[in-house]
């Protein structure tokens, strides 16, 4: 059996591991045009700030690849030839497959304004982007960041850490409005201001100004201009569908897959950012750009490719991230609709987060300790924990396990309820009950 995986991200690597857990003899080939191979995409944020060296992002060594008998090809797949069970590489050579996994991920939505192709306009999709940003980020110069979500904040903090003066443009009235509530946005924005970031709300970028062939400034819709040396943007991502558009594979916003991550071609699977997987909780096929679902999808796809029938059961999406230096965990359904700063979905995001809850309760202590719970009729359906992370793991388990919170629901809904204490006490009892 010959397994071919297009893409070197976490979904592709998880598939390799799963295949090898079932089939130790089959040939496994990974094809990617990213010369850096498999590395931690979320780790790029810490590479930008200087907290991690680039070598720390590589989670697998060449020795690991040898042990897994994995062949890596640095090439661009130009066509999927379904009838021939082959891939066309770089427009010339052919690579045959028996089972194929499409794990090509997503890419940044391009900035479409005059001047967007000038030197000094940057995004953060992959390692080469990060290296380019570090080359251009000069201490004492001025940068403008455009967009919402996690990646825009990563860019802001990375440029700030490199000694740049940073202006952050938000089209709406607050940061990441479709995931965070007003209080949470306020916490993040206050910390950014304390770090020296200049925030511009209701700021619509309409053009990038040129100076000596490079970025020299920006123009806003209201006519104001701002001199700068670098423009970084993160206005959303989109699944990389160019390769599959004319293949006859079923597509919506991503590659449609069933519960086994199988497409409408029984020998082709898809996983990660490019896959639109069925969510039994909502009854919809949704997009995720989270590390954990990509890993789980890749693992499930790999098992199925190797002949072990396994269903992918989408768990409550969660992400542990850092917002303005503040550890934040986002679990389950937490948001509400559209974000003016993000087209569609942001990196490190899940469409499931958009679902509206039945009720919301929140508790804030100091500015850096905040918890919001989203409550259904009998269960917790989401949570946001900022600062103290003591309860983030219990909350994750309770949301994922569908814990019946009926005994404490009314207490949680009371004004000024001691939410953290109620959850902590309930968790102790529920954990014992589940163990029994």
- Is residue 357's pLDDT more than 80? no
- Is residue 267's pLDDT more than 70? yes
For residue 76, the model assigns a pLDDT of 97
182 lies in which domain range? Answer: 110-235
Q: Please indicate, yes or no, if residue 373 is contained in any of the structural domains.
A: yes
Whether residue 265 sits in one domain with residue 364 = no
* Distance between CA atoms of residues 349 and 339, nearest Å: 12
For residue 122, the model assigns a pLDDT of 98
Tens-place pLDDT, residues 51-80: 999 899 998 877 888 899 999 999 999 999
Banded model confidence at residue 361, pLDDT cuts 50, 70, 90:
confident
Whether residue 243 sits in one domain with residue 219 = no
User: What is the count of structural domains for the chain?
Assistant: 3
For residue 337, the model assigns a pLDDT of 64
Q: Please indicate, yes or no, if residue 312 is contained in any of the structural domains.
A: no
HEC profile for 369-411? Answer: CEEEEEECCCEEEEEEEECCCCCHHHHHHHHHCCCECHHHHHH
Last residue of a domain, one of 305, 329, 344: 305
Whether residue 361 sits in one domain with residue 334 = yes
Q: Please indicate, yes or no, if residue 310 is contained in any of the structural domains.
A: no
- Please give the structure tokens belonging to residue 19: 């295949």
For residue 322, the model assigns a pLDDT of 92
Whether residue 126 sits in one domain with residue 273 = no
- Is residue 403's pLDDT more than 80? yes
Whether residue 125 sits in one domain with residue 98 = no
DSSP 24: S
For residue 87, the model assigns a pLDDT of 98
Whether residue 95 sits in one domain with residue 122 = no
Q: Please indicate, yes or no, if residue 313 is contained in any of the structural domains.
A: no
Q: How many CB atoms lie within 10 A of CB 63?
A: 8
Banded model confidence at residue 313, pLDDT cuts 50, 70, 90:
confident
Predicted TM-score of the model (pTM): 0.92
Banded model confidence at residue 358, pLDDT cuts 50, 70, 90:
low
CATH classification of the domain holding 159: 3.50.50.60
Averaged pLDDT of the chain: 92
- Do residues 394 and 406 touch, judged by C-beta distance below 8 A? no
Whether residue 161 sits in one domain with residue 114 = yes
For residue 342, the model assigns a pLDDT of 83
**Three-state DSSP class for residue 327:** strand
- Is residue 354's pLDDT more than 80? no
Average pLDDT over residues 340-350: 81
Whether residue 259 sits in one domain with residue 196 = no
- Do residues 332 and 226 touch, judged by C-beta distance below 8 A? no
- Please give the structure tokens belonging to residue 288: 């995720």
* Distance between CA atoms of residues 127 and 12, nearest Å: 17
Q: Please indicate, yes or no, if residue 158 is contained in any of the structural domains.
A: yes
- Is residue 366's pLDDT more than 70? no
Average pLDDT over residues 211-222: 96
* Distance between CA atoms of residues 436 and 29, nearest Å: 44
* Distance between CA atoms of residues 267 and 283, nearest Å: 25
Tens-place pLDDT, residues 269-304: 999 999 999 876 667 888 889 999 999 999 999 999
Question: Of 201-205, 338-342, 390-394, which range is least confident?
Answer: 338-342
Straight-line distance from the first to the last Cα atom of the chain, in angstroms, rounded to the nearest whole number: 43
Whether residue 347 sits in one domain with residue 293 = no
Tell which wins on pLDDT, 172 or 339: 172
Whether residue 230 sits in one domain with residue 116 = yes
Tens-place pLDDT, residues 121-141: 999 999 999 999 999 999 999
Tens-place pLDDT, residues 39-58: 999 999 999 999 999 899 99
Name the β-bridge partners of 86.
81, 96
Tell which wins on pLDDT, 189 or 342: 189
Whether residue 243 sits in one domain with residue 101 = yes
CATH classification of the domain holding 418: 3.30.390.30
Last residue of a domain, one of 179, 203, 235: 235
Q: Please indicate, yes or no, if residue 210 is contained in any of the structural domains.
A: yes
Q: Please indicate, yes or no, if residue 336 is contained in any of the structural domains.
A: yes
Whether residue 353 sits in one domain with residue 275 = no
For residue 339, the model assigns a pLDDT of 79
Tell which wins on pLDDT, 335 or 223: 223
Banded model confidence at residue 161, pLDDT cuts 50, 70, 90:
very high
Q: Please indicate, yes or no, if residue 311 is contained in any of the structural domains.
A: no
- Is residue 346's pLDDT more than 90? no
- Is residue 189's pLDDT more than 70? yes
Last residue of a domain, one of 282, 305, 328: 305
């Amino acid at each position: 059996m010959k397994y071919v995986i297009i893409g070197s991200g976490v979904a592709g690597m998880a598939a390799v591991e799963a295949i090898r857990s079932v089939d130790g003899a089959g040939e496994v080939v990974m094809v990617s045009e990213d010369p850096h191979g498999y590395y931690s995409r979320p780790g790029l944020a810490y590479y930008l700030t200087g907290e991690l060296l680039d070598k720390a992002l590589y989670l697998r060594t060449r020795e690991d690849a040898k042990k897994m008998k994995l062949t890596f090809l640095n090439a661009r797949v130009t066509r999927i030839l379904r009838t021939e069970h082959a891939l066309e590489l770089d427009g010339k050579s052919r690579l045959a497959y028996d089972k194929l996994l499409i794990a090509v991920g997503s890419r940044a939505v391009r900035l479409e304004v005059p001047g967007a192709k000038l030197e000094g306009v940057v995004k953060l999709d992959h390692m080469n982007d990060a290296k380019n940003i570090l080359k251009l980020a000069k201490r004492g110069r001025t940068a403008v960041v455009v967009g919402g979500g996690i990646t825009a904040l990563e860019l802001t903090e990375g440029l700030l850490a490199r000694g740049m003066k940073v202006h952050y443009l938000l089209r709406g009235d607050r940061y990441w409005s479709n995931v965070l509530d007003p209080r949470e946005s306020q916490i993040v924005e206050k910390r950014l201001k304390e770090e020296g970031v200049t925030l511009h709300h209701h700021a619509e970028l309409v053009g990038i100004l040129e100076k000596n062939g490079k970025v020299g400034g920006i123009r806003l819709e209201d006519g104001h201009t701002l001199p700068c040396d670098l423009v970084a943007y993160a206005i959303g991502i989109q699944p990389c569908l160019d390769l599959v558009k004319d293949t006859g594979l079923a597509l919506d916003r991503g590659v449609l897959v069933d519960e086994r991550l199988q497409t409408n071609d029984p020998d082709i699977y898809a996983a990660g950012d490019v896959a639109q997987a069925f969510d039994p909780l909502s009854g919809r096929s949704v997009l995720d750009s989270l590390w954990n679902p990509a890993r789980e999808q890749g693992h499930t796809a790999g098992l199925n490719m190797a002949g072990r029938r396994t269903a992918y059961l989408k768990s409550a999406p969660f992400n542990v991230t850092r917002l303005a230096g503040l550890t934040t965990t986002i679990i389950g359904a937490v948001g509400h609709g559209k974000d003016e700063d993000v087209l569609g979905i942001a990196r490190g995001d899940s469409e499931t987060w958009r679902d509206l809850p039945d009720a919301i309760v929140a508790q804030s202590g100091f500015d850096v300790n905040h918890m919001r719970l989203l409550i259904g009729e009998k269960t917790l359906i989401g949570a946001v924990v900022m600062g103290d992370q003591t309860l983030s793991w219990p909350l994750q388990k309770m949301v994922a396990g569908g814990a019946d919170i009926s005994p404490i629901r009314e207490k949680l809904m009371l004004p000024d309820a001691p939410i953290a204490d109620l959850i902590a006490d309930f968790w102790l009892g529920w954990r014992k009950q589940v163990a029994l």
